[in-house]
Structure 1
Amino acid sequence: MPHPEPQPEPQPVRFNAFDMNCVGHQSPGLWRHPQDRSRDYRDLDYWTGLARTLERGVFDGLFIADVLGTYDVFGGSDEATLRAGTQVPVNDPMMLVSAMAHVTEHLGFGITAGTAYEHPYPFARRMSTLDHLTRGRVGWNVVTGYLPSAARNMGHDDQLEHDERYDHAEEYLEVLYKLWEGSWEDDAVVLDAAGGRFTDPAKVHPIEHHGRWFDVPGIHLCEPSPQRSPVIFQAGSSPRGVAFAARHAEAIFVAPPTKEILADTVRRIRAALVEEGRAPDSARIYALMTVITDATSEAAHTKHEEYLAHADLEGALVLCSGWMGVDLSRYRLDEPVGAIRSNAIQSAVAAFNQADPKGGEWTVGDIARWAAIGGLGPRIVGSGEEVADELQAWVAETGVDGFNLAYAITPGTFEDVVEHVVPVLQERGVYPTSYEPGTLRERLFGRGDRLPEEHHGASFRRVRV
């Protein structure tokens, strides 16, 4: 009698939490829900409580988004974005990390900061400081910017052209790698009390960077932190963005609406990593996802309908207008998207049509309803078992490493995942029950605290002769 074919081991599932130091983040209008606490974004207790919840759920980290401008494409002004509270008011994400690190031991923190409007020299010090204070649990999400309002308020007519923004970012990271990896030798701090030497000056080196955009001749101001370079996060989806991520990123965030599109995206990223001389698994890929769950399927779907009743469709269109660069206020909700003349929105809607169970052409209102809870990523609604089934299917069919979980309400959405989904995944052996020790980089890859030798940033290390 033939032996049955061995079944493949189920693939692990990883979670990040996706939040922002503002009201509502990507679920406009849900701040009105009686159980939502996003209005408490100004209160440090909200953030420390969220950090404890995520650590209890053994999340890889909390990824904190940011913008340095307003969503003023919709209607050509700030009026609609202020009325809806779509990512404005918004506070600085970096200020949150020390307090959250103090109440946790293992949770990582991914901080969004742009390369366009801050000089890399002071930024390098701030990130090294956080890497010290968190004992190596910090990452940096590299963004080149996409809101024209940010450019104007920093004294520019508009942003640099798309590819030129990446050229600028390449040099920005070169400066940072020189500071983080090459300026101080590991044993530069000698603590020689008898000789009166805190640091050996011969082991601290000026970087002498002179480039197109930056001149940085001096030394880094910080001694080497646990990771030296923070874990590099990136979310570019254009061909140039994918190439940039393949060179630099160790965690990559994507937001395809279907498994088929996600599988293709994952394949393109893995191939780009190999082309860059890195292993195909040298970056963790997280897909944007919103999970709405409860003890039963019926309760979860009731909760979903309740959330939809609080959603602000105009607020969703404000966000979509900013993301896509099209003023959607000029169109009726029942107007087909085919009437909208924009390459950016056409490519996005072509992807959405594949996720549409009813078929047919999408309208502007369809876009608003899709993005009203959790932004442009898909939603899964169901009991803990149903959600776990679906998440495992996404991982098995696409090769993605895990999920960047957006919320409908906060911290309720994250608490529900920790209560109803995490235990199911743990019982199935595909989700950790505790943290491995070490820095964020060590826990993501198990290969040490520092950038691996094949990473581009490692080439800026000083070699002793």
Structure 2
Amino acid sequence: MKTMQIYAFDMNCVGHINHGLWTHPRDQSMRYTDLAYWTEFAETAERGKLDGIFLADIVGVYDVYKGSPAPVIETAAQIPVNDPLIPISAMAHVTKHLGFGVTVNTTFEPPFLLARRMSTLDHLTKGRIGWNIVTGYLDSAARSMGFDKLPEHDERYDAAEEYLEIVYKLWEGSWDDDAVSRDKAAGIYADPAKVRAVRHDGKYYRMEGTHLSEPSPQRTPLLFQAGASARGQDFAARHAECVFIAAPNPKAARPTVDALRSRADAFGRGAGALKILNLITVVVGRTERQAQDKLEEYRRHASVEASLAHYSASVGIDFSKYGLDDVIDQNSTNANQSALAAITKQAAKPVTKRDIIDQMVLGSRMKPIVGSPEQIADHLKTWIKEADIDGFNLARTVAPESLRDFVKLVVPVLQERGLFKADYAEGPLRQKLFGGGNGRLPAAHPAASFRR
């Protein structure tokens, strides 16, 4: 059986996925404005040999539920939220191998500036940076950026395709591999003949400019993506290297996993070009009884209200307008298509608001995996085997307790069973995850076509 990959999933905010748990007396997530909070977090993740820290982001506020942002402001549901890129340099400084995935929205971030920021981080982390490509789903974000609303779902992906062409040109083609000589005697740092401007004139973007950063260890950062709609899957199969999904169980995950691998193969990249990771929450104790007791303790702090507000924005439906036993019957919005389909078109039976609330054990819409270290390891092994995924995105509960518990209790069991690496491989992040090469994208990836 393959060894799994594991990422600590977080956000530069107080309340991320499991809402309300910041009120727990041992939770320290209110320290998110303290740089030491993030460096300690990174040190814990590297001590557990985790593959990386993945930082989500949002550039809007959840204002669909009750037609107001008040519920999420009151409960700290991903607001306040700070920039996810800023702490990464410090976290990289206190670690040697840990990877970093960071979310940046293509709809609102100019590609020329994004390319420089990612190259800068690739240099400073010595090739350990990854970019989670998102197109957004909040009209509140669009209004914050001066637009009336977001473009339509598929059009956002069309624009993102063009966006990626620009950054690929900048990362892969603007500077030759041997452009930089650093010749002090001759007074020549780089050869102008081996550095060129990038030009693009498309439907959504126009630009002309030389990439401002010299070639970094990976050039193109490791590419993450989390779209699960049909259009999102096509996008992921063409561009992504790591894909995040959020299926409730292995059986539900398998069709998406098979479709993603098949599409990547059809694009000529091969089914093994993707590492697919599922979102999970883990509550672990030394024994099953301790884990169940911890779960009940945590549950007393979970916020259903915050979770409903977050979920409303995700699917574009105001759940406050539904009674507990009303069936969710709106099949189309301009928000998160896969999250909406999970409770409408793809649901095994009609889903009511009560059904949704019943899933919100810890203030999120996914049920946690609860048990002893051995039981958790059994669950994760089942996921790998039955869903054919490659690993997990581990959401926090009470911070930093939940990550420390996982590292201390679960990781050793996984390592003993040969399910998780005993130590890190050398090289840049892409090389650690896929093996071989020099950390650069393989020739089958579309970005490679822009190399000279």
The 3 A distance-change label for structure 1 pair 322 and 346 is closer
What is residue 395 of structure 1 aligned with on the other side?
384
CA distance, structure 2, for counterparts of residue 28 and residue 213 of structure 1: 37
Aligned-residue offset at 1:202: 0.4
Q: Which structure 1 residue ranges, 5 or more long, are not aligned?
A: 1-9, 355-359
What is residue 201 of structure 1 aligned with on the other side?
192
Which residues of 2 match residues 57-456 of structure 1 at below 5 A? 57-332=48-323, 334-336=324-326, 338-343=327-332, 347-349=341-343, 362-371=351-360, 373=362, 375-448=364-437, 449-456=439-446
Higher alpha-carbon deviation: 205-214 or 51-60 = 205-214
Contact 1:262 1:398 in 2 (8 A): yes
Which residue identity is paired with 2:232?
Answer: G
What is residue 35 of structure 2 aligned with on the other side?
44
The 3 A distance-change label for structure 1 pair 232 and 95 is same
Secondary structure of the equivalent of 2:86?
helix
Which residue identity is paired with 2:447?
Answer: G
Which residue identity is paired with 1:37?
Answer: Q
Contact 2:284 2:370 in 1 (8 A): yes
Residues 178-211 of structure 1 show CA distances to partners (whole Å, capped at 9, x for unaligned) of 0000000011111122222111000001112222
Which residue identity is paired with 2:136?
Answer: G
TM-score w.r.t. structure 2 length?
A: 0.96
Which residue identity is paired with 1:457?
Answer: A
Which residue identity is paired with 2:240?
Answer: A
Secondary structure of the equivalent of 2:343?
helix
Aligned-residue offset at 1:346: 6.2
CA distance, structure 2, for counterparts of residue 346 and residue 20 of structure 1: 23
Contact 2:45 2:98 in 1 (8 A): yes
Aligned-residue offset at 1:361: 5.6
TM-score w.r.t. structure 1 length?
A: 0.93
CA RMSD, Structure 1 to Structure 2 (Å): 1.6
Residues 292-344 of structure 1 show CA distances to partners (whole Å, capped at 9, x for unaligned) of 00100000011111111111110010011011100011123x323x2543446
The 3 A distance-change label for structure 1 pair 310 and 369 is farther
- Tell me whether 1:22 sits opposite 2:13 in the alignment: yes
Q: Which structure 2 residue ranges, 5 or more long, are not aligned?
A: none
Residues 363-422 of structure 1 show CA distances to partners (whole Å, capped at 9, x for unaligned) of 313313424537444421000000000110111111100010111111111111111111
Secondary structure of the equivalent of 1:218?
strand
Aligned-residue offset at 1:279: 1.4
Higher alpha-carbon deviation: 130-139 or 342-351 = 342-351
Aligned-residue offset at 1:110: 0.2
Higher alpha-carbon deviation: 211-220 or 38-47 = 211-220
Aligned-residue offset at 1:92: 0.1
Which residue identity is paired with 2:418?
Answer: G
CA distance, structure 1, for counterparts of residue 440 and residue 2 of structure 2: 26
Contact 2:344 2:350 in 1 (8 A): no
The 3 A distance-change label for structure 1 pair 30 and 257 is same
Secondary structure of the equivalent of 1:94?
coil
Secondary structure of the equivalent of 1:310?
coil
Which residue identity is paired with 1:458?
Answer: A
Contact 1:27 1:311 in 2 (8 A): yes
CA distance, structure 1, for counterparts of residue 169 and residue 73 of structure 2: 41
Contact 1:257 1:352 in 2 (8 A): no
CA distance, structure 2, for counterparts of residue 351 and residue 104 of structure 1: 44
CA distance, structure 2, for counterparts of residue 19 and residue 228 of structure 1: 25
Higher alpha-carbon deviation: 183-192 or 95-104 = 183-192
CA distance, structure 2, for counterparts of residue 371 and residue 347 of structure 1: 18
CA distance, structure 2, for counterparts of residue 186 and residue 317 of structure 1: 50
CA distance, structure 2, for counterparts of residue 368 and residue 351 of structure 1: 19
Secondary structure of the equivalent of 2:186?
coil
The 3 A distance-change label for structure 1 pair 352 and 274 is closer
Higher alpha-carbon deviation: 363-372 or 284-293 = 363-372
CA distance, structure 2, for counterparts of residue 351 and residue 63 of structure 1: 30
Higher alpha-carbon deviation: 204-213 or 180-189 = 204-213
Secondary structure of the equivalent of 1:209?
strand
Aligned residues between the structures:
446
Secondary structure of the equivalent of 2:436?
coil
Contact 1:313 1:369 in 2 (8 A): no
CA distance, structure 1, for counterparts of residue 366 and residue 390 of structure 2: 16
Secondary structure of the equivalent of 1:208?
strand
Which residue identity is paired with 1:218?
Answer: G
Which residue identity is paired with 2:444?
Answer: E
Aligned-residue offset at 1:273: 0.5
Aligned-residue offset at 1:347: 2.7
